[in-house]
Amino acid sequence: MQETKITLIYFGLSLFVFLALMPWVVNLRIGMMAIETLAIYGGVVIAFLGGFIWGWGDQKNNRLNLWCAIGFSLMGLSVVLLASFSLTISLLLLIVSLYIFLYFESSHSTYYQSNIKYADARNLITNLVTICCITSLAFIYNPYT
């Protein structure tokens, strides 16, 4: 089961990488659509991760976990909605959301704490998605585009 989770994490990363590199290869209009898609996809991922919390079996923090799950889902929705109005704010909120979720998962998930390989993959993926967001921001503010 752990190998399947890690494999799916990397498959999810591949779309982030593709969307972050696409603007550098295609024309400006399609590139901006790719960045907007990256932000929307990131918001959906944050909302999914928020829903993922509902499956944690930790009874001592169950109420806190459920409220935080709703909060992460709302943060994901905010990233999606902001993507249409301000890609910069949307991408920055996505980065912040990813790191807040990583911190929350590392301190509240027994699965994260007991599976070093999974924890390493989650840390790596969070950092790589952040690089994808920064690459997208660099394209948006590139004076030569």
Question: DSSP label at 1?
Answer: -
In the block, residue with structure tokens 């752990």: 2
Q: Return the pLDDT at 131.
A: 98
Q: What is the pLDDT of residue 134?
A: 97
Domain positions in the chain? 2-140
Predicted pLDDT of residue 60: 58
Q: Which two tokens stand for residue 23?
A: 């603007």
Given this model, what pLDDT does residue 56 score?
A: 77
Map tokens 């928020």 to a residue.
Answer: 50
| C-alpha closest to that of 50 among 30, 67, 28 | 67
pLDDT at 133: 98
Confidence (pTM): 0.91
Residues 6+ apart with CB under 8 A from 45: 12, 76
Asked if residue 28 lies in contact with residue 145, where contact means CB atoms within 8 angstroms, the answer is yes
Average pLDDT of adjacent 10-residue blocks, the chain of 145 residues: 81 95 95 97 96 75 84 96 96 98 92 90 95 97 85
